[in-house]
Amino acid sequence: MTSELQVDPVRAADPADERLHVCVVCTGNICRSPIGEQVLRRAVEDAGLADQVVVTSAGTGNWHVGAGAHHGSVRVLADAGYPTDHTARQLTRDDLAGIDLVLAADRDHRALVKRMLAEPDRDKVRLLRDFDPDADGDEIPDPYYGPHQGFVDVLDMTAAAMPGVIAEIRRRLAERD
C-alpha cells in the first residue's frame, strides 16, 4: 500500500508552505529516520491530518546523502506494508527554519540539532520515544550493525510512540488556530 500523503524527500524550508512540518532525524538517514518517516506519515494519514502536516526525515551526517534506505529498513517497512522509496539527505540549518517539530532518534541527535538552533527554537526538538509513555528508555538504538531483529525493534518502538506524536501534532495545530 502506498501513501496518499505528498512525499517531499528533499524538502528544504519553504515559507509559503503553511503545513506543520515534522522531521524525523537519525545519524545517516538510512535506518531509523526512514522508518520513522513512513510510520509517522501513515499515522498522520490515519488521523486525517495529511492536508495539514508534512513529514520528512534527515540525517545529522552526510555519509549516505543520495542513497536509499538500509536494506534492513527496506525489508522491515515492506514486511509491514509501508512504502520503501527513500533518498537520504542531511539536515541543514536552512531546513530547520521550516521545521516545526524534530523527532530525534537518540540523545546525541537531539543535542546536535539543538546546537544548530537559537535558544528560543530548541524546544521544537524532542526524542521520538518521549511520546511513548510505556517506553523502557528514551532512545531508539541504531540497528545498522546488528541483526534484522534490531530493525523490527525500531519499527515497534516507533509505532508505539505514534499515538503520543499525533497528540502533540494536534496540540501544535490547535495552537496555530
Catalytic residues: 26, 32, 142
Q: Count of CB atoms within 10 A of residue 133's CB?
A: 9
172, three cell numbers: 501544535
133, three cell numbers: 509513555
What is the Cα–Cα distance from 93 to 76, expressed in whole angstroms?
31
Contact between residue 134 and residue 111 where contact means Cβ atoms under 8 Å apart:
no
